[in-house]
């Protein structure tokens, strides 16, 4: 976990943001994150409309792929790593570790796409071109598997009442030791996955759709995002 935190600090920490010449670049990174989050919302409107999955969609979009600047959080977590390792039980530590690995990949991809968009307006066509130029098909597919790993890990532990009770007992110690944001992330994830009462359909749907888009983009499909409109219509025509 510590290595992942250091990677994130390098990618978006104080040193990465210090160069004034990079202001435009980091603005593009934020624009890419926002564009992608909006794309994700369109892809999963059917799941978000289902009371069973609405909390999980919110967790997926806001916590696993949010648009907040987390540079300060990353720096603080490096400082608090010894406390985190001592305080968090193994199931919670492992969940955070996998989520951070997912975060590293997402940040690398977002920055790679933003570099390709220098002087180019962000839209479906320019995003598709930038995505292809960034490449890394194997890592893109690994990102999808990591998402499933995080979800499966949560789905397993939320079925164990003792583990969920342990997590709630950690709320005050976590806040007192500066780990309140991590605690909040874990509680939101556990709450969302408990509410689903079984996550296989949710995780499978996301994995299948993301893989389809990755393949359409990297295989030079003439209109890779057309399928997103088809998924949007599933909300109205289940």
Q: What is the pLDDT of residues 16-56, one digit of tens each?
A: 555 545 778 888 888 999 999 999 999 999 999 999 999 99
pLDDT value at residue 139 = 92
Q: How far apart are CA 36 and CA 130, in angstroms?
A: 13
Count of other CB atoms within 10 angstroms of residue 220: 9
pLDDT value at residue 217 = 96
Torsion, Cα of 219, 223, 123, 9 (10° steps): -30
pTM of the entire predicted model:
0.81
Contact 202, 158 (CB under 8 A): no
Q: Is the CA virtual torsion 208, 203, 189, 230 positive or negative?
A: positive
* Burial group, residue 115, by CB count within 10 angstroms (0-12, 13-18, 19+): middle
Collect contacts of 37-44 with beta carbons under 8 A, ≥24 apart: 37/61, 37/65, 37/66, 37/67, 39/225, 39/228, 40/65, 42/228, 42/231, 42/232, 43/209, 43/213, 43/228, 43/231, 43/232, 44/205, 44/206, 44/209, 44/231
Given a cut of 50, the residues of the chain with pLDDT beneath it are: 20, 71-72, 237-238
Contacts of 228 (CB under 8 A, 6+ apart): 39, 42, 43, 213
Contact 88, 157 (CB under 8 A): no
Q: Is the CA virtual torsion 168, 171, 173, 178 positive or negative?
A: positive
pLDDT value at residue 71 = 47
């Amino acid at each position: 976990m510590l290595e992942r935190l250091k990677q994130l600090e390098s990618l978006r920490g104080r040193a990465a943001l210090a160069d004034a010449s990079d202001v435009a670049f980091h603005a593009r990174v934020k624009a890419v994150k926002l564009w992608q989050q909006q794309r994700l919302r369109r892809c999963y409107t059917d799941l978000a409309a289902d009371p069973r999955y609405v909390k999980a969609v919110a967790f997926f979009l806001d916590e696993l792929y949010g648009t907040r600047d987390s540079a300060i959080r990353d720096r603080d977590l490096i400082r608090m790593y010894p406390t985190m390792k001592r305080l968090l039980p193994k199931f919670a530590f492992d969940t955070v570790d996998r989520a951070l690995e997912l975060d590293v990949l997402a940040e690398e991809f977002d920055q790679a796409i933003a570099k390709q968009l220098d002087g180019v307006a962000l839209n479906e066509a320019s995003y598709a071109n930038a995505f292809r130029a960034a490449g890394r098909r194997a890592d893109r597919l690994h990102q999808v598997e990591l998402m499933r790993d995080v979800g499966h890990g949560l789905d397993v532990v939320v079925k164990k009442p003792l583990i969920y009770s342990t997590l709630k007992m950690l709320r005050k110690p976590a806040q007192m030791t500066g780990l309140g944001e991590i605690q909040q992330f874990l509680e939101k994830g556990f709450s969302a996955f408990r509410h689903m009462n079984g996550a296989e359909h949710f995780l499978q749907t996301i994995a299948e759709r993301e893989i389809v888009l990755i393949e359409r983009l990297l295989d030079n499909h003439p209109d890779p995002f057309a399928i997103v409109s088809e998924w949007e219509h599933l909300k109205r025509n289940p």
